[in-house]
Amino acid sequence: MTSGSGNDGLLSEINITPFVDVMLVLLIIFMVTAPMMVQGVDVSLPEAESGPISSDDNQLVVSIDKEGKIYINDLNVTTDFLGEKLKRILENRTGKEVYLRADKMVSYGVVVSVMTEIKGAGIEKLGMLTEPPKK
């Protein structure tokens, strides 16, 4: 005569405790490293009073740093190829708007030449980015 239920086989349940531990460690790592992954070109913007613009993850920003180097988002370009590059980028976009960030130490002539190239590329809307004034 045998006693017991007769289920002497192996249990086939997944132990999820190690998975939860790994996920919590990954979550902590991403929470710590996310603020360190700031992108962009270091530009000291001029201060001006204006309203905030709507933020879009897919916005196109042309930046001019204090040395006069021109960037499309994070890609370094020269003034000669700026218009051509913008035309190629905007071929597949529905909205043709660009934001311009220029360091306050950049000469007015450089900013105007970049604006001319942007407008020559067929940009319909050109926004100027500034810093709010410090109180």
- Quote the CA–CA distance of 135 and 117 in Å, as a whole number: 35
Instruction: Tell me if 26 is assigned to some domain.
Output: no
CATH number at residue 93: 3.30.420.270
Contact 62, 97 (CB under 8 A): no
pLDDT of the chain, 135 residues: tens digit per residue: 555 555 666 777 888 888 899 999 999 998 888 776 655 556 665 666 656 656 555 788 899 988 889 998 888 888 888 888 888 888 877 777 888 888 888 888 888 888 888 888 888 788 888 777 776
Angle of helix 79-90 versus helix 108-120 axis, rounded to 10: 40
pLDDT digits (tens, 9 = 90+) for 60-95: 889 998 888 999 888 888 888 888 888 888 887 777
The answer to whether position 27 is within a domain reads no
Instruction: Compute how many other C-beta atoms are within 10 angstroms of the C-beta atom of residue 114.
Output: 21
133 found inside a domain: no
Does residue 32 lie in a domain region? no
Domain that holds residue 67: 60-128
Q: Is residue 3 part of a domain?
A: no
